[in-house]
Amino acid sequence: MKHHSESPGPSEPSGWQPTRRDFLKASTGLLAATALVPLSCQSSRFFPGQSARFGLVTDIHYADINSRNNRYHRDSISKLNECTDLMNEQNVDFLIELGDFKDQDANPTEEKTIEYLETIETTYQNYQGPVYHVLGNHDMDSISKKQFLAHIQNTGITPESSYYSFDKNGVRFIVLDANFSSDGQEFDHGKFDWTDATVPPVQLDWLRDTLKSSNQPAIVFVHERLDGEGPVYVKNAAQVCQVLEGFGKVLAVFQGHDHGGGYNEIHGIHYYTLQAVVEGPAPENNSYAIVEVQPDWNITVTGYRKAVPKELPQSIREV
């Protein structure tokens, strides 16, 4: 049974402040950028004739426990139902969650944590199209990565893969897993420091190969933030960003983890951090978005409830 009678409209811009200079609206940016590009550079790939449109949600933190620190874990079921209803109605190409999918009891057990994971995965699967997951630190707080991956489904992806890529409508989508400590150990059963999240060398090599092997523009998904330094950021974020910038084809990075959300633009790549589902009681404190990569590669983020709408104009004209 669904928990709301109608879908909310897109959210209005809130007091959420970007951490760097904001951009002009996409239409203005497109006209200005196009005017500067010689006609000889405007190949057919500049207008591939299709768009990619997907749903985005993050930091659901579901557990059947009482609220604490403004986190309403139980309410995440009805909030996610609202999200999947809208995504079905809008018929997006796929739905992806950016990590911290489930949570745990104060005195957790594997059995109970897996029960919470199975419950929220069943709700997530109410979306009637492809679904994908990004691993967050709380997803391994009382179980292993292997256990988490065994109880979720990433459409068309090898079940044991914690990082992977897929193509849709002329765009390559890349999912990263930063849940490794700086000594290369996987986050496991809560035995890790959540401020020490790292993308290890073998995954960086895979990322280079994945970007190199396609002439498509790329979108990257990751849980912990890449656009700065501090506790909520990937420890070797500068290294990861250097790889992303090196190929001139990454349009944007979508992130979770930092519950208040945020935005940055670094060297032509947009870094959009979506606000958390779990913060505040349902229904008004929900947060989810539809992202459209348009045929000219400009991106529109339509935010719902507390998610912030955003235009992400592109400087990349050719891949």
For 225-277, write each residue's pLDDT tens digit: 999 999 999 999 999 999 999 999 999 999 999 999 999 999 999 999 999 99
pLDDT band with cut points at 50, 70 and 90 for residue 7: low
Question: Is residue 199 pLDDT above 70, yes or no?
Answer: yes
Whether pLDDT at 319 is above 50: yes
Q: What sign does the dihedral 158-144-114-77 (CA atoms) show?
A: negative
pLDDT, averaged across the chain: 88
- Residue 244 token pair: 């992303």
Query: In this structure, what token pair is assigned to residue 186?
Result: 């996987």
Residue 209 has pLDDT above 70, yes or no: yes
Distance of CA 77 to the CA centre of its chain: 19
- Assess contact for 284 and 78: CB atoms under 8 A: no
Q: Which helix (H) or strand (E) holds 140?
A: none
- φ/ψ region of 170 (left if φ > 0, alpha if ψ in -120 to 50, else beta) reads left
What distance in Å separates the CA atoms of residue 101 and residue 164, rounded to the nearest whole number?
Answer: 18
Note whether 160 and 152 are within 8 A (CB). no
CA dist 259 and 162 (Å) reads 22
Least confident range from 5-19, 56-70, 208-222, 236-250: namely 5-19
Query: Where is pLDDT greater, at 47 or 7?
Result: 7
Strands ordered across the beta sheet of 299-305:
131-133, 94-97, 52-57, 287-293, 299-305, 310-312
pLDDT band at 158 (very low <50, low <70, confident <90, very high): very high
Residue 315, pLDDT score: 74
Least confidently predicted of 39-48, 207-216, 263-272, 285-294 = 39-48
Using only C-alpha atoms, what is the Rg of the chain?
19
Least confident of 11-25, 35-49, 149-163, 280-294: 35-49
The share of the chain scoring above pLDDT 90, in percent, equals 82
Angle made by CA atoms 228, 232, 237, in degrees to the nearest 5 = 40
Cβ–Cβ under 8 Å, residues 13 and 183 = no
Do the beta carbons of residue 232 and residue 306 sit within 8 Å? no
Query: Is beta strand 287-293 parallel, antiparallel or unpaired with respect to 269-273?
Result: unpaired
Other Cβ atoms less than 10 A from the Cβ of 154: the count is 19
Q: Two tokens at 69? A: 């620190």
| Strands 299-305 and 310-312, bridge-based pairing | antiparallel
Q: Nearest Cα to 300, choosing from 24, 292, 95?
A: 292
CA distance 61 to 143: 14
Cα–Cα nearest to 100, from 143, 56, 140: 140
> pLDDT tens digits, residue range 87-125?
999 999 999 999 999 999 999 999 999 999 999 999 999
Percent of the chain with pLDDT strictly greater than 70: 84
Instruction: Check pLDDT > 60 for residue 294.
Output: yes
Do the beta carbons of residue 307 and residue 270 sit within 8 Å? no
Helix 237-245 and helix 201-212, axial crossing angle in degrees, nearest 10: 10
Domain 50-312 top-level CATH class: alpha beta
Residues 6 or more apart in contact with residue 303 via CB below 8 angstroms = 10, 11, 287, 288, 289, 309, 310
How many CA atoms are closer than 13 Å to the CA of 296, on its beta-carbon side? 14
| Residue partners of 201: CB distance under 8 A and separation at least 6 | none
